[in-house]
Structure 1
Amino acid sequence: MTSSTTGADNAADTFTIGGEFPVRRLGFGAMRLPAAPAPDRERAVAVARRAVELGVTLIDTAHMYGWGANEELLAEALHPYPEDLLIATKVGIVRSEPDGYAYDAKPESLRRQVDAGLRRLRIERIGLLQLHRLDPEVPIAEQVGALRELQQEGKIGHIGLSEVSAAELAEARRTAEIASVQNRYNLLDREHEPVLEACEAAGIAFLPWRPVAPDSASRLATAAADLGATVQQVLLAWLLARSPVVLPIPGTASLGHLEENVAAAGLRLTDSQRESIEQL
């Protein structure tokens, strides 16, 4: 991959989450790592370890990913954790029978979920704990307030939200300081632009899930070829250039794709290149 000239829209390569955790802005989403028995598990462990070797300092997981199995996999692969590594996890969704899930952000349930996450990750404090979804049956102030209590107890470092509107973010911030928002966002899906703008104004980390638009290959093939990059790398570079608070967390179970994704942090887009990509 050849890099283009650094444009004025390219921000620093790091972002400090919650004023405490300086992380490289291109992170890793662990959702796709299989927790099955060997050899799949061995490959998953190798991918997680390779991500850290490549300099990734932000890894995203959740209770919902294998109902705790993904967290346990990361602990197996990476514990004891490097001092500069932040593992962010999520609570608020629980398993329901036979094979479904349900929102559950009642305070007593959140406490149980956080305690279970601490055990699985083998830590005493979750640096960034995100509410996977707002529970429509529980007032926002009650959900966020429960996390604030856990924060005051030292079990949570910083609080994040996922899939919220700008209005919901503002309401949550009246109860506790919010360090991150994780919403669906990519070049072809910018429904949550107002949320990103609110995060940028407040200095809140914005972690786009599904950062790579699945139907963008044909549109960006020529642009990617001109840059000496893959389409996926161009999409990640665009996100990094979009705002200094954007921290993409692309996920993969492939060592090759992981290395390709991490290399996207070195792709710099000029203003004209970014504008041309956006017009596509």
Structure 2
Amino acid sequence: MSIPTRALGSLQVSAQGLGCMGMSQGYGPGDAEESVATLHRALELGVTFLDTANVYGDGANEELLSGFLKGRRDQVVLATKFGIAGRGPNGPAVRGDAAYVRESIEASLRRLGVDHVDLYYQHRVDPDTPIEETVGAMAELVAEGKVRHLGLSEAGADTIRRAHAVHPIAAVQSEWSLWTRGIEAEVLPTCRELGIGVVPFSPLGRGFLTGRLTATEIGDGDIRAAMPRFAAENFDRNRAIVTALEELAAARGVTAGQLALAWVQAQGPDVVPIPGTKRRAYLAENAAAATIELSESDIAAIEAAAPADAFIGDRYAPGMMRAVGK
């Protein structure tokens, strides 16, 4: 399999990346051996864009990647993030002050065992720190060679404009899939106007769009248990929409997940989804979606089967929702 490349601003990456969060937190117990094997397989398949963050597993995810990166640093495009500094009473505690930016990159480089990262995101925008201060501090890291390109995650259109005026922003990472399409109104047009790439996380709806997930699988240690879309009163209604997607996929000889992921890939050459997995089997399935070509009629049929306004329930609980789109 040969996965093509795409551009995030001036940064060239594989057309599909790998979200590494689930290897260390969020979706039940991890398996370090299988996770590392998945990273090796990603490289073999041409998925060379790896995404982590300082907060994933409280640093454990960056440490997991460090062993894999030894002797392979020049074969991958490495992205990490800073900004979520713990839990507050009403959602994540977010910091973007200059001192925290520098403190965070030094800690991430140490855990990753590298001297630079290719893409450094602010994970959430700090409402109490001007974005100009945050991006100004990030720009200093570029000048020092510790960071190659800058990104924002879950930022609003106005913040993106202000940030880009301080230093070019290569990528904006936001949740985007058939069941989460909020960025299409303002964020996506702003990114395209400014030449910023878009990196959709959870392009498979945190596994829901694959059709394989059952309500009983969401147990202790699974972040989906706190997400309204996965609540019992919403699960079955949302699952019915995925059934329609499965029928379309079967006619194409692919899985529902592959069709949903191909839809994201088809949204433009500036879009690089990062489906997350900690298992080689799912990685291969996801990677294959990068080569599925959809016609305009295919896309129309997919969107008719899974309309944007059909899914019910917010994607986060209220506290987490307050931290997005700033």
Taking structure 2 as the reference length, what is the TM-score of the superposition? 0.77
Shift of 1:81: 2.1
**Which residues of structure 1 form unaligned runs of 5+?**
1-11
* Sequence identity percentage: 41
Aligned partner of 2:258 among 233, 244, 250:
233
Name the count of aligned residue pairs. 265
Which sections of structure 2, spanning at least 5 residues, go unmatched? 209-237, 306-326
* Aligned AA (2:43): V
Distance 1:188 1:17 in 2: 23
Larger helix proportion, structure 1 or 2?
2
Cα displacement (A) at 1:96: 5.3
Report the AA paired with residue 64 of structure 2. Answer: L
C-alpha distance in 1, partners of 2:267/2:30? 39
1:28 Cα offset (Å): 0.5
Q: CA RMSD in A?
A: 2.0
Structure 1 residue identity aligned to 2:198: F
C-alpha distance after superposition, 1:33-67 (max 9, x if no partner): 138xx992111111111111111110110001011
Is the 1:237–1:267 contact (alpha carbons within 8 Å) kept by the matching residues of 2?
yes
The aligned counterpart of 1:279 is: 304
Q: Secondary structure at the match of 2:261?
A: helix
Where do residues 93-132 of structure 1 align in structure 2 (5 Å cutoff)?
Answer: 93-95=84-86, 101-132=92-123
Q: Larger deviation: 153-162 or 76-85?
A: 76-85
- In the other structure, the counterpart of 1:256 is 281
2:199 aligned residue: 207
Counterpart of 1:266 (choices 291, 298, 304) is 291
Helix, strand or coil: the match of 2:297? helix
Q: How many angstroms does 1:84 deviate by?
A: 3.6
* Residue 32 (str. 1) matches residue 25 (str. 2): no
SS of 2:21's equivalent in the other structure is coil
Q: Which of 27, 33, 36 is 1:42 aligned to?
A: 33
- Residue 197 of structure 1: aligned partner: 189
| 2:212 paired with 1:221 | no
Q: Runs in 1 of length 4+ with deviation above 6 angstroms?
A: none
What letter corresponds to residue 52 of structure 2 in structure 1?
T
Deviations 1:138-173 (A, max 9, x none): 111111111111111211111100001111111111
Letter in 1 for 2:197: A
Would you say the 8 A contact 2:77–2:118 is kept in 1?
yes
Helix, strand or coil: the match of 1:74? helix
TM-score, structure 1 as length reference = 0.89
**173-182 vs 21-30, which deviates more?**
21-30
**Structure 1 residue 200: Cα displacement:** 2.3
What does residue 132 of structure 2 align with? 141
Taking a change above 3 Å as real, the CA distance of residues 137 and 86 of structure 1, as seen in their structure-2 partners, is: same
Which among 155, 161, 175 is matched to residue 146 of structure 2? 155
Return the offset for 1:197: 2.1
CA 1:264–1:39: 2 relative to 1, 3 Å: closer
Q: CA deviation at 1:94?
A: 1.6
Residue in 2 aligned with 1:52? Answer: 43
Cross-structure match for 1:23: 13
Quick one: structure 1 residues 253 and 272, their matched pair in 2 at CA, closer, same or farther if it must change by over 3 Å?
same
CA offset at residue 271 of structure 1?
A: 1.4
Whole-angstrom distance in 1 between the partners of 2:119 and 2:30: 31
CA contact (8 A) 2:8 2:270 kept: no
Looking at structure 1, the residues matched to 258 and 195 of structure 2 have their Cα atoms a distance apart, in angstroms, of 25
Q: Distance in 2 between matches of 1:249 and 1:85?
A: 14
Letter of the structure 2 residue corresponding to residue 109 of structure 1: Y
Does the 8 Å CA contact 1:23/1:84 hold for their aligned counterparts?
no
